[in-house]
Amino acid sequence: MIDAEKFGEYTRKPDSAWSLVEKRVFEYAFGRYFKDRFNWLNNDENRSIPAITTKFGRLTPDDFRVLDLGTGTGHIPESLIDFGVKPQNIVGLDNNSRMLENIDYPLGVHKLCADVRKFSPTLKKELSGFGNFDLVTANMVFHLLTFGDYVKTLKQIRNVVTERAELYIMLPHPLRDEMNSIPGYHQRGVVAEIAPWGEEVAYGIKTISDYCRGLKQTGFHCWIIRTTGVGLRLEDNLLLSDEAIWSQVQSRKKGTYIGTLPHYFRLWLMAFPE
């Protein structure tokens, strides 16, 4: 089990992955790609109204509900509240109760201690009248799961979202795994790595196509897939196909220099129910 205090202390640092990459990508995605949705929901006459490109407090619907999987010490809920989502409409779920007890966790958010692979019974028991979710976020969670467990989690998500919901996923780019001497881009399995806060963390190797295939199998359509990292534009599309990555891996094995990956190299996806 991850040490909540060490994890929380690390993620609050200005040079952490959350501060340098993950926070800015989430706020970019939430601000840019949900803008039209919010305008439409708050416009009974279906007219075009001016877009707000900073915070969305005035446009965020009062009943907009969010499930944050692997919520940790509450960074995603904190950002959601900044955008005008009501704390009582957010559910933060984590299998580590110490994370949810962290002093920095945002007040007013529903906190559930459960495994992401089988959270549905806990959700129904604790929040039976809450309603389905308009957004599900999984920041740095799905890379910890095997492909089978990833699909199990997606199936549960599919059953608790509205018809117009979105799913936001952020995880380490699979090529980063290979470049860190984990045995091969196409070799599935569970491996261990020392996390930046000093603990050993186990996670399951999956390819980009694995992530997309899992979404399709469970009734989601992936409509955005992007690469990011320190020094990269948020729109960058670097090495987003298995074929391109395999070519790079093979070149590396032959001794060809393929460059240095960006600091905190990340893959992020957005999907919606089909």
Distance, in Å, from the CA atom of 99 to the CA atom of 233, rounded to the nearest integer, reads 31
Q: Output the CA torsion 152→154→157→163 (10° steps).
A: -140
Coil, helix or strand at residue 255? coil
* pLDDT given at position 54: 41
pLDDT in tens, the chain (274 residues): 778 788 888 888 999 999 999 999 998 888 776 666 655 555 555 554 444 444 555 567 778 899 999 999 999 999 998 888 899 999 999 998 888 988 889 999 999 999 999 998 889 889 988 889 999 999 999 999 999 999 999 999 999 999 889 999 999 988 876 555 555 778 788 888 888 888 888 889 899 999 999 999 999 999 889 999 988 888 788 878 888 887 777 776 665 545 577 888 899 999 999 8
CATH 3.40.50.150 at 4-273, yes or no: yes
Q: Is the Cα dihedral 209, 210, 214, 217 positive or negative?
A: positive
Half-sphere exposure of 33 (CA within 13 A, CB side): 20
Contacts with 17 (C-beta within 8 Å, 6 or more apart), sequence order: 11, 140, 196, 264, 266
Strand ranges in 133-219 using DSSP code E only, listed in sequence order: 133-139, 161-172, 189-194, 200-205
Domain ranges in the chain are 4-273
From the number of C-beta atoms within 10 Å of its C-beta (0-12, 13-18, 19+), residue 254 rates as exposed
* pLDDT given at position 132: 92
**Beta-ladder partners of 172:** 266
Distance, in Å, from the CA atom of 90 to the CA atom of 197, rounded to the nearest integer, reads 27
Report the greatest alpha carbon distance in the chain: 62
Residue 120 burial (CB count, 10 A): 15
* pLDDT given at position 3: 80
Phi-psi region of 23 (alpha: psi -120 to 50; beta: other; left: phi over 0): alpha
Contacts with 31 (C-beta within 8 Å, 6 or more apart), sequence order: 53, 54, 55, 56, 83
Residue 139 burial (CB count, 10 A): 24
The residue length of the chain stands at 274
